[in-house]
Structure 1
Amino acid sequence: MCADDRIMAKAQMNQSWYDTHMKMKRNRNEIGIDKQTPIATDDENDTDDITRLMGMFDVPDLRDRLFASQQELCAYHTMLDEMEELKAANKQLECEAAELLKERSSHKQTLKKDAYNAVERLENEIVGLKMELAQSREKENSHVARMRSVLNKMKSLEEEVKAPRERADIQQITNKRIRASTGGLFQICCENDTQAAEKSSFLSSFNRGTVRVIRQRLDDERIHAKRSHSFTAMSA
């Protein structure tokens, strides 16, 4: 057997179409397809046509043509197998796509639910904050009113305290003036007393000096008299 025959035989053994052909051939032999029937007659006619056509070509040419046909058939079946694989892959992809769509839908529903819950929670928080703000405003208004009341009371108390304070200030000023006037009179009296004391002292001093002068004169006259008497006695 040449190399081409071995390659052809190997290709025939490895192809599903060859197995199908051999299976059909065995089935035909089992059901007696070679009997003289219209179908058998047609097969014989086909066989004659094939024999006649084979006579038109030599063996190497037929072998080359058959080998080329087998290669094309192998390529065709390979393509069919690839198509089946692609169909299976597409089916798998469709299943995966359906699963992804299902997961996407579920995830989308989950996101919607979470978003709805988040929005509802935020709305509740906003409502709570608004209530707290309203309460804070009420407290602020109450505090402002209380502060105004306290300020008004303070003003009224200041007005009540202002009059006695003014009266006290006036009384204090009056007392100061009275003390000032009293102090002036006391000072005048003190000055008069001082002047009187000075005058009395001057008079006392003057009197003492006069008495001293008189006494000195009397002593001088007495001494002069004694001296005169002594001189007279000596002269006699």
Structure 2
Amino acid sequence: MDWDREARTGLPEAVFCAGKTPAQIDAILAEARAAGRRVLLTRLDPARRDALAAKEGLDYDAASATAILGGPAPARPGRIAIVTGGLADLPAATEALRTLAFCGFAGELVADVGVAGLWRLLERIDAIREVDVVIAVAGMEGAIFSVLAGLVTAPIIALPVSFGSGVSAGGRLALDAALGSCAPGLVAVNIDNGFGAAQAAIRMLSPRGGTAQNAGPS
């Protein structure tokens, strides 16, 4: 584990559990407990979670496939809205929410306001305009990315998700919609990368250097 990452970058280390064995994850958790470290685990599916030898103290959320050891960080200033086109987008959106909470930010979820029922978004738009950063989450054609980027002044981070059918399957269409948007200033992360979207939002809110101490190599 790169325990010095936060000192260098202002962003904490996390454990990407996909592809790791339960024994490897147990070893990482044992190291963290021995050192008194907080840890965020992502892509921890229920089967791997159930196979862990030491699950005590793990705050597990099956919907987002995340777990937190050691609780959230102290509250930090800044308002981040996570806006989803549909309820099927919630796994990636919740991963972003949990990442924000781990880092001390209270994300505000605005769910199921996609362009197929545009009035739902317009009913919430005044509240969305009050936040500092917006993470827009969508599959299918990803239309909500450009719509939001044309309506609010806050930075918009497009988070495409793999939900969809036909040409939308796998999330590539939503990603291409974000990359090809005519709305200026829209940025995007990779498909289903709720963790990365949350970390990008935190960077946008942090002062230059974040919590890093400009440390050199340890």
Q: What TM-score comes out, normalization by structure 2 length?
A: 0.20
Q: What TM-score comes out, normalization by structure 1 length?
A: 0.19
1 or 2, which has the higher helix percentage?
1
Higher relative contact order (CA 8 A, sep 6+): 2
1 or 2, which has the higher strand percentage?
2
Q: Who wins on radius of gyration, i.e. which is larger?
A: 1
